[in-house]
Structure 1
Amino acid sequence: MSRLKSFTVSACLLAGQIWPATAANPPEVDAAIVFAVDSSTSIDPVRADRQRLGHAEALRSREVVAAIKQGRAGCIAVTYFEWASVGSLRTVLPWRLVCNEAQANAAAEAIEQYGDTGRGRSRGGRTSISFAIDAASLSLRAWEGKAAKTVIDVSVNGTNNDGLPVEVSRRQALAEGHVINAIALDRSEEGVTHDLPGYLHAAVIGGPGAFVAVSKDPADYVRALRRKLVVEISGLDWPADAATSIYVR
């Protein structure tokens, strides 16, 4: 990452304070997961709500809470930020431990309350997936706990059209040992690609077991997101009857 890009990402993260205070005994978790959520101009109120409410509902679901409790450490760490163009980043949920139902509900409520609604504020911008990956990598680097797995979880409805080529940022994140997964809000990007999941598969995701999750229809987004989280936390295979997923070959 260039010095200018690194400075830009660092400034955004410092503004959001998305890492926890230093602890004498750093927590151990089964997975540290960064939810990097698209808030670019193409994210209208319907898509914004789908992401905000979908992540909240998935996080507080019985399936996800059960997967957390069944892990070796019995805890995960999560943070949630929204991104658009290079330099456009807003932290919704700073790093937080989730080890039980009450903590999952508290994290979900914060996302539900403070996440992007697509209404009534200055928002939007281009789509820099590379910036989102760089910001997520820096956040994981700054987190002071120990994680069996580190995951960058990108939710997006378009292709990278701002900042570095996404392959450059992906290569750096994979070199640091992170897994990059994605969930496609739409199956296509009008005027750009008729196969958004295929693009995400080819250019964005990476690492052991990485995948793109695609809901069968907008109403199925929450189910796809919930199952994606269970897979990320538990390491289990994607259920055969789940919403479509594309795995790294």
Structure 2
Amino acid sequence: MLAPYALPAAAAPLSLNYDPDSEVDVELVLAVDISQSMDRDEQEIQRAGYVSALTSEEVLEAIRIGPTGRIAVTYMEWGGAEEQFVVAEWAMINDAVTARAFAAKLAEAPIRHKQRTSIASALKQAVNLIQINRFNGMRKVIDISGDGPNNQGGRVTDARDQALTSGVVINGLPLMMKAEKNTWQAMMNLDHYYEDCVIGGPGAFAIPVRSTEAFADAIRMKLVLEIAGISPNANALVQKAAARKKVTCSLYD
């Protein structure tokens, strides 16, 4: 006579801990630069751009057509190595009501400035936020924006590579709104820096923002692509890395 079948000891906790309400299509960290090089007008445009994008019909439609019809998102501002601030805690968005509630937290939060630019530390903290939340996303994405290179907190490529081992995808929003009047920013090719030194993971992409007028549209496009899990046509948006000289990522660290 066959002995009664028993589940392996390790299987029971997995079954008991499963929470279908925690499932989302993507866990998304919006990691937003508040370093001193971002003046107040730019910060207000940046904040308003996220508020507008998160409540836009395009983003809501991208959420609705996903496998679960919901995403989890948090909004973190960052400056120097020890300067990361969660403006809006993790929340699930699955309709216009939840989107407006999350966006309202951003709209109501005060604007702050910090001195340095630690992309490396921002990536580390973003990974930590993903690892400690209650959600279970099919994909995990860090959406990091900034207007300068990493200049504090260790090598940006080390932080990027470590983040990628946790299974996240890092997308970038290099802000080049000062490039026409700021020779330093124009010379450093921030879009190339983000491509070579910051972003990574399957389908990772960067969308440069070259004017304040284009900011809201760029954020909306980027969120739709991230929520839908697709990448833009690289030929239309960025120059292929193979067609140019690679950036020396450690130059600014």
TM-score bin, normalised by smaller chain: 0.7 to 0.9
1:14 aligns with: none
Tell me if structure 2 keeps the 8 A contact 1:210–1:248: no
Match of 2:206, SS?
strand
2:184 aligned partner: 191
- Tell me if 1:147 matches 2:140: no
Q: Greater CA radius of gyration, 1 or 2?
A: 2
CA distance in 2, matches of 1:240, 1:206: 14
Between Structure 1 and Structure 2, the one with more helix by share is 2
Equivalent of residue 80 in structure 1, options 75, 84, 92: 75
Compared CA separation, residues 165 and 241, structure 1 to 2 (3 A): closer
Instruction: Work out the CA distance in 1 between the residues paired with 2:234 and 2:193.
Output: 23
**Shift of the alpha carbon at 1:109?**
1.2
Unpaired segments ≥5 residues, structure 1: 1-21
C-alpha distance in 2 between matches for 1:96 and 1:114: 16
Gaps of 5+ in 2: 1-16, 243-253
* Residue matched to 1:156: 146
Q: Hey, what does 2:199 align to over in structure 1?
A: 205
3-state SS, counterpart of residue 48 of structure 1: helix
- Residue number among 89, 109, 117 corresponding to 1:114 in the alignment: 109
Q: 2:217 aligned to 196, 218, 223, which one? A: 223
Query: C-alpha separation between the residues in 2 aligned to 1:155 and 1:115?
Result: 19
Per the TM alignment, residue 238 of structure 1 is displaced from its structure 2 partner at its CA by 2.4
Superposition RMSD on alpha carbons, in Å?
2.3
Q: Quote the offset at 1:248 in angstroms.
A: 7.8
Check if 1:131 corresponds to 2:121. yes
User: 2:82 & 2:63 partners in 1: Cα distance?
Assistant: 33
- Equivalent pair of 1:209/1:248 in contact (CA under 8 Å): no
8 Å Cα contact 2:175/2:210 also seen in 1: no
- 3-state secondary structure, aligned to 1:97: strand
What displacement does 1:26 show? 5.1
TM-fit CA distance, 1:144: 2.1
TM-score normalised over the length of structure 1: 0.82
Q: 1:212 to 1:74 in 2, by over 3 A?
A: same
How many Å apart are 1:173 and its aligned residue?
0.7
How far apart, in 2, do the equivalents of 1:77 and 1:248 lie?
Answer: 32
Q: Is the 8 A contact 1:47 1:185 kept in 2?
A: no
Q: How many residues in Structure 1 have an aligned counterpart in Structure 2?
A: 222
- Aligned residues of 2:149 and 2:193 also touching (Cα < 8 A): yes
**Partner SS, residue 95 of structure 1:** strand
Please tell me whether residue 34 in structure 1 is matched to residue 29 in structure 2. yes
Deviates more, 1:198-207 or 1:210-219: 210-219
Query: Would you say the 8 A contact 1:211–1:247 is kept in 2?
Result: no
Counterpart AA for 1:49: E
